[in-house]
Each structure stands twice: as C-alpha cells, then as structure tokens.
C-alpha cells in the first residue's frame, strides 16, 4: 500500500525487531499514533541463537508460551569439550525461540495496541525540523513528529540523523541443523557454551523444537575465517555440518561503544543493536534492545509532556543504565578473549565459581558492574584462589 504525504504520525519507528515492536506497543497503548516501518515481509528469518534470558523475558509484558521451542533448565560451560561448569535449575534459565516467530508476535502486539505496520517498506531519508519531519520511504512520503531507528547494526536511521555512533563489530556465524530425534533428545533442555573452540571467541549449541541452532563468535578474528572452526565444532559434537536447513548466516554483533556516543537528538533516537549496546561477553542483544525500548518510551513520554528534553533524558538514561554496564562487561570480555590460553586455564580451574556468577547475570540477580567489582576486588580474587576445580562428567 502506498503512503500518502498527508499521513502524519507522532512517532515513526524504523525496524520491527524486539526493540522497535516493543516501543511501538508502549507508545500506541498510551494513545500515540505510531507507524512501524519494516523493509521485509513479516515474518522474516533473522540470524540469531534465539535464547531469551530470564532478565530479557522479564521486560516483555506478554505470555510467550506458544512461541517457546525449548526450555533450557541446564547450562553447560565447556573448555576444550570438557564440562567445567554445569547447573540444572527447576525453572528455566533461558527460553529458546525462533526469532522470526518472536519478532512477528511482538509486531502483532504493537498492531493490536493501535500501531500501524508498513512492511515491505524501506526507510530512505529524513528531513525537516524537530516535530515536523518528512520521511521518505520506498512506499512514499510520510510525516512524523519523531523518528526512532530500530534498524539494527549500521543503522541507516542513525546515519540519516547524523548521530555520532561508533563501536566495534565482532562476527558470528550460525547454522540451523536438521538432526535425528536421538541427537535432538541429547541436547534438549540444555544449552552449551564452548571455549577453546576458536581463539578469542566461543561456540554455542541451542536446541529448538525440531532442529539445532549452533554457531561460533570471534572477538577479533576476520569473519571469513569462522567457517572451518564452525565445521570442526559441529563434527566434534556429532552434528554433521552438511545437514544445514538454511545457508550459513553471518551476523555482525556490535561491541565496545565509544563513550562519546550520542543516541538521540531533537529529531529522533536509536534503540536496539544500532546503539552498539550488546552484551560483549556473549553477544546477546535482546535484553539491552528491550531495555533501550523501555527507556525510549519513558523519554518520549517526558518529552511530549514538556517535563524534559527527549534528547537529554534519553542520552543520560541510556548512558547510565546500559552503556556503563556494557563497558564494564567489555572489560571482562577483554580479559576473557584477549589471551585465550590464559583465560581458558582460569576457566578450567575456577569454572564452577565463574559460571555461577555469570549465571546470576543471566538471571538478573547480578549486574556486570557488580560482577566486575567482584572479579577484581581483593575479596573476589581471594575467594577464587581458595577454590578447587570440581570434576564433572564428560558432556
């Protein structure tokens, strides 16, 4: 459907991923006119491990049970294919989803709240003064008071707004694998994080209802070098790399945002991966994407009430509540990935303690700021030195 120039919205959101759709829902349910622009036809496949942590799940105000592919009650941390930490919980630590279904569902909730979805509509440019924006799309021109970029890494919206956003990108390669039922049962109810598979990175296995998602991430290695490491990892776990049900997908994951970044101006703001605010230890981005959407909703509410500048309020909250946290996590990531021979020995010796602490972060019981203070505090170092690695069965 063609957009007519007479159409005007309070907010135009570019991108219907978790951040864009949740923000559209939050704004629409308070009576604001919202248009959600999506360049592809929904539902669309999205490269993602599909793990929703407890802390991320707590930010979604909907029942997601019909979408759940598997529930990970068991978390395994392995080094050189040897289990050094394993924890099984009565309640799932991570829920497993397919991103196409999750994203589509969240977009549907935004529509039900009153937002208008325009899929197969690519954002092209934005012009005009704050509050009176003219937005060009492949389906025509629309007008809006504010634009929000939820369009992922290398956000086109951020570039159009001229926002100074800088961060590094680490590549991840993922495979979706058809496997026999016996293999699926072997991994069901658990997720695996494997170190020692690729220097300066890790690999993962996430089971789904009818297949396995597996991938590999490298902190510094060029993307073109990932495929042989992934192939070897799959073979070592009895997962034939030839059984892919989709072509291998490369996904750029942002990390280490520049402290000088500005995430908003008077015309618009950026949420989700486009901010560069992603967990630099695991590469998980949904939690911070959802959190940035919640912060954006608060900023827009205060801005439209005239009680605060959207730009100043959003920049301040995002820096205080997310950027500061990811920068602390990035320091831990550098300890983990910069010298893998050393860090793998540390993991092998203190895997129980380190795994339990990182699990607390996943569960929302501890922040990276607290974990950083613990790891580098005299008390934390003394505790680690008193530990002895406990034997674990081979996974």
Q: Which helix (H) or strand (E) holds 191?
A: strand 190-195
Alpha helices in 306-339 (DSSP H): 310-318, 324-337
Q: Which long-range contacts (CB under 8 A, 24 or more apart) does 294-298 make?
A: 294/22, 294/26, 294/59, 295/321, 295/322, 296/23, 296/148, 296/269, 296/271, 297/23, 297/26, 297/27
Structural domain containing residue 86: 70-97+169-255
Q: Which helix (H) or strand (E) holds 101?
A: helix 99-113
Q: Are residues 217 and 275 in the same domain?
A: no
Contacts of 311 (CB under 8 A, 6+ apart): 264, 265, 266, 269
Percent of the chain with pLDDT over 70: 94
Q: Are residues 145 and 23 in the same domain?
A: yes
Q: Does residue 14 fall inside a structural domain?
A: yes
The whole-chain average pLDDT of the chain stands at 91
Mean pLDDT confidence for 241-255: 88
pLDDT band at 219 (very low <50, low <70, confident <90, very high): confident
Q: Are residues 181 and 315 in the same domain?
A: no
Number of domains observed in the structure of the chain: 3
- What does the pLDDT read at residue 110? 98
Q: Are residues 184 and 250 in the same domain?
A: yes
Q: Does residue 58 fall inside a structural domain?
A: no
Q: Are residues 273 and 294 in the same domain?
A: yes
Per-residue pLDDT reduced to its tens digit, 63-111: 999 999 999 999 999 999 999 999 999 999 999 999 999 999 999 999 9
- Range with the lowest mean pLDDT among 240-249, 260-269, 313-322? 240-249
Q: Are residues 311 and 177 in the same domain?
A: no
- What does the pLDDT read at residue 150? 98
- What does the pLDDT read at residue 383? 64
**Burial zone of 131 (CB within 10 Å; 0-12 exposed, 13-18 middle, 19+ buried):** exposed
Q: Are residues 81 and 181 in the same domain?
A: yes
Q: Using CA atoms, how far apart are residues 44 and 103, in angstroms rounded to an integer?
A: 8
Q: Using CA atoms, how far apart are residues 339 and 328, in angstroms rounded to an integer?
A: 18
- What does the pLDDT read at residue 1? 52
pTM equals 0.93
- What does the pLDDT read at residue 65? 96
Q: Are residues 211 and 308 in the same domain?
A: no
pLDDT band at 59 (very low <50, low <70, confident <90, very high): very high
Q: Residue 119 sits in a domain of what CATH number?
A: 3.50.50.60
Domain end, chosen from 255, 281, 308, is at 255
Percent of the chain with pLDDT over 90: 75
Q: Using CA atoms, how far apart are residues 314 and 35, in angstroms rounded to an integer?
A: 21
**Burial zone of 374 (CB within 10 Å; 0-12 exposed, 13-18 middle, 19+ buried):** middle
Domain end, chosen from 208, 227, 255, is at 255
Mean pLDDT confidence for 331-359: 88
- What does the pLDDT read at residue 297? 97
Q: Comparing 386 with 365, which gets the higher pLDDT? A: 365
């Amino acid at each position: 459907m063609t957009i007519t120039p007479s159409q005007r919205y309070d907010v135009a959101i570019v991108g219907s991923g978790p951040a864009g759709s949740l923000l559209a829902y939050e704004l629409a349910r308070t009576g604001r006119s919202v248009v959600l622009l999506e360049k592809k036809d929904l539902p669309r496949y999205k490269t993602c491990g599909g793990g929703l942590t407890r802390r991320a799940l707590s930010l979604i105000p909907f029942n997601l049970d019909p979408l759940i592919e598997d529930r990970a009650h068991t978390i395994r941390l392995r080094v050189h294919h040897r289990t050094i930490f394993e924890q099984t919980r009565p309640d799932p630590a991570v829920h497993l989803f397919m991103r196409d279904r999750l994203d589509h569902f969240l977009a549907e909730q935004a529509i039900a709240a009153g937002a208008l979805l325009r899929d197969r509509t690519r954002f092209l440019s934005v012009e005009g003064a704050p509050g009176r924006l003219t937005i060009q799309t492949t389906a025509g021109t629309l007008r809006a008071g504010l634009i929000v970029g939820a369009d992922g890494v290398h956000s086109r919206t951020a570039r159009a707004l001229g926002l100074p956003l800088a961060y590094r990108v680490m590549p991840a390669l993922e495979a979706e694998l058809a496997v026999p039922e016996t293999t699926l049962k072997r991994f069901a109810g658990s997720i695996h994080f494997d170190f020692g598979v690729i220097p300066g990175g890790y690999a993962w296995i996430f089971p789904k209802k009818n297949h396995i998602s597996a991938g590999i991430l490298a902190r510094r290695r060029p993307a073109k070098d990932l495929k042989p490491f992934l192939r070897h990892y799959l073979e070592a776990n009895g997962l034939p790399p030839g059984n892919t049900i989709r072509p291998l997908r490369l996904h750029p994951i942002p990390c280490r945002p520049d402290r000088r970044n500005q995430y908003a101006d008077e015309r618009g703001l950026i949420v989700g991966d486009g901010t560069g605010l992603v967990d630099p230890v695991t590469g998980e981005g949904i939690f911070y994407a959802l959190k940035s959407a919640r912060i954006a909703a608060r900023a827009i509410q205060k801005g439209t009430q005239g009680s605060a500048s959207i730009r100043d309020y959003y920049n301040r909250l995002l820096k205080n509540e997310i950027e500061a946290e990811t920068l602390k996590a990035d320091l831990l990531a550098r300890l983990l990935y910069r010298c893998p021979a050393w860090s793998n020995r540390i993991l092998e010796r203190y895997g129980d303690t380190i795994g339990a602490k990182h699990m607390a972060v996943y569960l929302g019981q501890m922040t990276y700021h607290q974990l950083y203070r613990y790891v580098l505090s005299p008390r934390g170092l003394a505790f680690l030195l008193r530990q002895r690695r406990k034997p674990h069965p081979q996974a």
